[in-house]
């Protein structure tokens, strides 16, 4: 089936595209819920596998780092060989890795399966949004992207709750087994309902040398930022910066580059969308991490109560994402997304003044407002970005959007680590340190306000997309 035949088939069979979207939402939900639920199971994994602290810290890191490294190669392979092929391969790999994790008797084996899961996640993340863009027309593309985003937020929100229940009821291995039946359903839906495939008509190759340089850059930067402060961390970050410069130079001279930097810079809608995404995610991470500490240490809440308050943001985001996506099908995405950034700025400003006496109702209301703003931003931003690029490069575009998200989270991580190092150091968070923790929160959220404003600027100045055709 060629491109026109694909469009004719889905125009005549609208149910097929919605069932395919269900599969994509399932895979996105699984990736999110598995990563967030496993953190709850870590103490039980430690007790069962007798793992040391260093190896245990790599349970979440090995997954995230592997997925970051392979995002761009997966996107490139999908554009060359077919998005459906790469997506289904990712689903299969996720299922196999999850089943193998259940058999782990040593922490090293579990880390190996987490890396396999990272490979599968990269393949599905790099192709998921691209498939949505290929399946849906501009009339209902926004709501489809919104539902995909909502499945991510629901997974993040439900992960700790489901992970805790599974671990307590059936043991930590059940956390890895839980996604397998859902992955089987996702695989069947895609296999049956997606006809044909989408790939470039031109003969191209993957720039594996560029992939190697990108791996060195992302690994050095990721591990360096995660290890701040310290001399080793600074050295790794410098290596990452040097590798990044080398990557940009190599890509400019490659016959088949992973990233066409000139084309991205010339595409103001796409480039500004990437920067806006990185800024917004960088602004949100400090709140997710620091306010869980604030609610438990300073407000004296239990982990369960604190989690119930923190989940307000994710639930609001999940509700708003499809609605804002639908709006972005009718109105300029930059207006909706920029409004979301400004609402986030207001919520951060309110939370920035939090202290020991701040009302929980005010905090809950601000978190709901923040989720409202984030929900208005995310889907229209993705819709604008992917609508502005050539259909033959949708997978690499999807991978770049995910890379911008991860880069924003890394920047947010660096902000928190540096502030904690300055104001708290390596001391335990005890009542005598609560004032220092509040200082960290105030500075971090002030920087979140700044990131939200920068995100609003790039969101608004990206330009319009309504004059573009499908």
Question: What does the pLDDT read at residue 339?
Answer: 94
Q: Is pLDDT of 104 > 50?
A: yes
Of 38-47, 148-157, 205-214, 327-336, the one with minimum mean pLDDT is: 38-47
Domain 1-203 has CATH 1.20.1440.230: no
The pLDDT tens digits for 302-338 are 766 777 787 888 888 888 888 888 888 888 888 999 9
Query: Rounded mean pLDDT of 213-227?
Result: 81
* Assigned token pair, 320: 């708003």
Share above pLDDT 70 across residues of the chain, in percent, rounded to a whole number? 90
Which band of pLDDT confidence, cut at 50, 70 and 90, is reported for residue 76? Answer: confident
Question: What does the pLDDT read at residue 138?
Answer: 65
**Distance from C-alpha of 109 to C-alpha of 290, rounded to nearest angstrom:** 32
Query: Rounded mean pLDDT of 442-451?
Result: 92
Which band of pLDDT confidence, cut at 50, 70 and 90, is reported for residue 457? Answer: very high
Q: Is pLDDT of 117 > 80?
A: yes
> Domain 263-470 falls in which CATH fold?
Growth Hormone; Chain: A; (1.20.1250)
Q: Is pLDDT of 69 > 60?
A: yes
Question: What does the pLDDT read at residue 47?
Answer: 80
Ranked by mean pLDDT, the top range of 27-41, 132-146, 379-393 is 379-393
Ranked by mean pLDDT, the top range of 21-25, 224-228, 414-418, 431-435 is 21-25
Question: What does the pLDDT read at residue 431?
Answer: 79
Question: What does the pLDDT read at residue 361?
Answer: 92
User: Cα(first)–Cα(last) distance of the chain, in Å?
Assistant: 19
Question: What does the pLDDT read at residue 468?
Answer: 47
Question: What does the pLDDT read at residue 470?
Answer: 40
Share above pLDDT 90 across residues of the chain, in percent, rounded to a whole number? 17
Of 37-41, 208-212, 315-319, 382-386, the one with minimum mean pLDDT is: 37-41
pLDDT top residue among 207 and 456? 456
Question: What does the pLDDT read at residue 460?
Answer: 93
Phi-psi region of 55 (alpha: psi -120 to 50; beta: other; left: phi over 0): alpha
What rounded mean pLDDT belongs to the chain?
Answer: 82
Query: Rounded mean pLDDT of 269-281?
Result: 92
Q: Is pLDDT of 391 > 70?
A: yes
Which band of pLDDT confidence, cut at 50, 70 and 90, is reported for residue 3? Answer: low
Query: Rounded mean pLDDT of 417-425?
Result: 77
Shortest CA distance to 322 belongs to which of 250, 254, 382?
382
Question: What does the pLDDT read at residue 469?
Answer: 41
Q: Is pLDDT of 97 > 50?
A: yes
pLDDT top residue among 53 and 443? 443
């Amino acid at each position: 089936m060629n491109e026109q035949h694909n469009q004719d088939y889905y125009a005549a069979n609208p149910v097929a595209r919605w069932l395919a979207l269900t599969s994509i939402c399932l895979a996105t939900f699984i990736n999110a819920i598995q990563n967030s639920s496993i953190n709850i199971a870590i103490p039980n994994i430690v007790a069962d596998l007798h793992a040391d602290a260093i190896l245990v810290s790599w349970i979440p890191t090995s997954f995230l780092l592997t997925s970051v490294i392979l995002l761009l190669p997966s996107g490139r392979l999908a554009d060359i060989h077919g998005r459906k092929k790469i997506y289904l391969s990712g689903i299969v790999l996720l299922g196999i890795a999850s089943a193998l994790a259940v058999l782990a008797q040593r922490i090293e084996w579990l880390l190996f399966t987490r890396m396999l899961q990272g490979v599968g996640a990269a393949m599905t993340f790099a192709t998921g949004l691209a498939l949505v863009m290929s399946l849906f027309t501009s009339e209902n593309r926004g709501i489809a992207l919104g539902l995909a985003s909502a499945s991510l937020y629901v997974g993040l929100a439900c992960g700790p709750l489901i992970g805790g229940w599974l671990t307590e009821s059936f043991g930590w291995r059940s956390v890895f087994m839980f996604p397998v039946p859902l992955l089987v359903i996702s695989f069947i839906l895609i296999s049956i309902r997606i006809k044909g495939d989408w790939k470039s008509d031109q003969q191209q190759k993957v720039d594996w040398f560029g992939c190697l340089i990108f791996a060195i850059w992302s690994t050095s930067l990721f591990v360096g930022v995660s290890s701040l402060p310290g001399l080793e961390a600074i050295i790794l970050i410098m290596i990452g910066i040097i590798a990044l410069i080398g990557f940009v130079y190599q890509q400019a001279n490659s016959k088949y580059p992973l990233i066409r930097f000139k084309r991205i810079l010339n595409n103001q809608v796409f480039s500004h969308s990437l920067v806006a995404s990185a800024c917004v995610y960088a602004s949100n991470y400090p709140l997710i991490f620091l306010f869980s500490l604030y609610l438990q240490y300073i407000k004296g809440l239990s982990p369960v109560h604190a989690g119930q308050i923190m989940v307000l943001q994710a639930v609001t985001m999940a509700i708003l994402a499809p609605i804002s996506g639908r709006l972005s099908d009718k109105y300029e995405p930059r207006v909706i997304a920029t409004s979301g950034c400004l609402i986030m700025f207001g919520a951060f400003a309110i939370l920035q003044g939090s202290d020991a006496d701040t009302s929980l109702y005010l905090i809950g209301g601000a978190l709901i407002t923040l989720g409202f703003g984030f929900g208005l931003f995310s889907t229209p931003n993705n819709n604008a970005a992917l609508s502005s690029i050539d259909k033959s490069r949708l997978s690499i575009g999807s991978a770049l959007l995910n890379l911008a998200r991860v880069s924003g989270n890394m920047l947010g991580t660096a902000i928190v680590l540096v502030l904690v190092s300055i104001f708290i150091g390596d001391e335990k968070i005890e009542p005598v340190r609560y004032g220092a923790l509040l200082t960290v929160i105030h500075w971090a959220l002030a920087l979140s306000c700044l990131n939200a404003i920068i995100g609003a600027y790039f969101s608004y100045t990206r330009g319009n997309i309504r004059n573009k055709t499908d």
